[in-house]
Amino acid sequence: MLSYAGMLASPSRSPEVISGLVMHCFDLENVEVEDWQMRKVAVCEEQQNRLGQANMALGHDFISGARVNDCAGKFILKINNLSFRDFLRFLPDGDQHQPLVRFMSFILRDQLAWDLSLGFGYQQANGMRLDNHQGASLGWSSFLGTPPERARVMICVQE
């Protein structure tokens, strides 16, 4: 981490810096940050516009509805080409999930919403087998039928 002190002191965090820090600190080979993810954000009732209130100019500060579209407040952290063993470690019940979440909270200046996308390496995903107790979580680490060659799982970490 000492080698990244200069980057951590800077006021901004580019996708390249975030992916580089995660690769270095978790000894990973292929990490990407996919920014500008569309999401819908709830507008609390006190901030919703009402007819008859002052300072509600259409086109300036008037928002219609209880939710707004936002693409600047969310990104996806993609960890690619994981072995089956490493994939299990980054699932929510794995030993690397909470350290990754805490690390991301530490390096992000603004607490943005983010999802974690875990990608298996080539042919690392398995079909569902009832006799396999390790990694038999349907939809996370095992799939019905033949899984895709490069299976991927999306985990919502922070809204």
Confidence (pLDDT) at 12 = 77
pLDDT at 63: 76
pLDDT given for residue 29 in this prediction: 96
Q: Residues 144, 120: one domain?
A: yes
pLDDT at 46: 80
Which residues span the domain enclosing 61? 40-69
Answer yes or no: do 90 and 134 share one domain. Answer: yes
6 and 50 in a single domain? The answer is: no
Same domain, yes or no, for 138 and 60? no
Q: What is the pLDDT of residue 130?
A: 67
Q: Are residues 21 and 59 in the same domain?
A: no
Domain count, the chain: 2
Together in a domain, 83 and 62: no
Residue 150: per-residue pLDDT: 79
Tokens of 43: 């507008």
Report the relative pairing of strands 67-70 and 126-127 from DSSP bridges. unpaired
**Distance (Å, rounded) from C-alpha 113 to C-alpha 98?**
16
What is the mean pLDDT, run by run of 10 residues, along the chain of 159 residues?
78 89 96 96 84 72 84 96 94 96 92 95 74 66 76 92
Same domain, 33 and 44: no
In this structure, the answer to whether residues 7 and 56 fall within a common structural domain is: no
Residues 12 and 90 in one domain: yes
pLDDT at residue 132, as a whole number: 64
120 in the same domain as 91: yes
Of 113, 112, 83, nearest in space to 96 by CA: 83
- Are 86 and 58 in a shared domain? no
pLDDT score recorded for residue 92: 94
112 with 141, same domain? yes
3-state secondary structure 11-50: CCCCHHHHHHHHHHHCCCCCEEEECCCCEEEECCHHHCCC
* CB atoms closer than 10 angstroms to residue 78: 18
138 strand-pairing partners = 142
Q: Identify the H or E element spanning 86.
A: helix 84-90
End-to-end alpha carbon distance in the chain: 27
